[in-house]
Amino acid sequence: MGDENEREITREEVKRALDETKAGEYPCVKAVFVLVRHPDFHMLHTYVPTVLIVTLSWMSFWIAPDATPARVTLGVTSILTMATQYSQSTKNLPPVSYIKSLDIWMITCMVYVFAALLEFSIVYHVRYRRTTKEVQVIITSSTTNGPSQNFNVNSSRFKRWSEAWRNFWNRDTAIDEASRVLFPLTFFSFVAGYFVLLTGSQQQGSLSPEIPQ
């Protein structure tokens, strides 16, 4: 159950009650204790480390796309570290059949770390296609007399907005530049909403006047 210093009794009540059984009703004394876990332990050993791990996985967005070993190593190491952190954070918690708030936090962090590695695979694929296309253009221009006519025919098949969109995502760092903004923005929005809901649910549970009969 963990250290008793991790929890405190926020409300207690002792009262007389009637215990109903098949044999009849019997007077008894009912005691209700409301325990609230201190957030300091998980804040230092779970939340802060996982935020740092997720932030560390974003460092790959600033590494050049052609540095494949560095980006893959960083992504895989972040995933393994997050899995180890998840195991260490939940091993002292009692097994339950429902999803805990800590599970939601750890799974979301794991998804962000995995998404950072998946982002690199997309960047590498786009870079590979662009490089292959450049090689094909060089070969075509060296074997034909009018390569400029092919460019005019191809460019006339697409609308201006689709061509601009394609040109943007064909850049080596376009996806990385977008990820540098989208990943932190969505993650810290989740962090803010998570702690607002978590704090509100804890206060509601500790201040609720209802006592189970």
- Per-residue pLDDT of 97-127, as tens digits, reads 888 888 999 999 999 999 999 999 888 888 7
| Annotated domain spans of the chain | 1-38, 39-206
pLDDT at residue 76 in the model: 93
- Per-residue pLDDT of 158-189, as tens digits, reads 566 666 666 666 666 788 888 999 999 999 99
**For residues 145-159, average pLDDT:** 48
Using alpha carbons, list the distances in angstroms from residue 2 to 37, 38, 203.
Answer: 10, 12, 22
Q: How confident is the model at residue 79 (pLDDT cuts 50, 70, 90)?
A: very high
CB proximity list for 45: less than 8 A, separation 6 or greater: 88, 89
- Which one is predicted more confidently, 1 or 74? 74
pLDDT at residue 154 in the model: 47
Mean pLDDT of the chain: 76
**CATH class, 39-206 region:** mainly alpha
**For residues 4-19, average pLDDT:** 68
pTM of the model: 0.69
